[in-house]
Amino acid sequence: MSQVFSEETHRNLLARIPHCTGREVSDWLRAVDDGPALFNFEEKVSWLRHEHNLAYGHAKAIIHEYDLRRAARKLL
């Protein structure tokens, strides 16, 4: 997992994703879940960018959030 932005920047990007993409963050997280089984952070970002035509920063924020939530689920 890669820390790509400060926590504040990450939260600001997540807040803007619905406005910029027309889809909620939860929709994007499901898209990543349903997407190809990629292991590398940057591969996931690249797939999301090219498959869904997302900006690089938005794609990184989505993948970072996906990884954070996935790690949290493992702790439970």
Nearest to 57 by CA among 3, 15, 13: 13
pLDDT bracket for residue 8 (50, 70, 90): very high
- So what's the pLDDT on residue 1? 47
Instruction: Compute the average pLDDT of residues 38-59.
Output: 95
Count of domains observed in the chain: 1
Q: Does the pLDDT of residue 64 top 90, yes or no?
A: yes
In a domain, 2, yes or no: no
Host domain of residue 28: 7-75
Q: For residue 1, is it within any domain?
A: no
Tell me if 46 is assigned to some domain. Answer: yes
Task: Note the pLDDT tens digit of each residue in 21-43.
Answer: 999 999 999 999 999 999 999 99
pLDDT of residue 74: 80
Q: Is residue 13 part of a domain?
A: yes
64 in a structural domain: yes
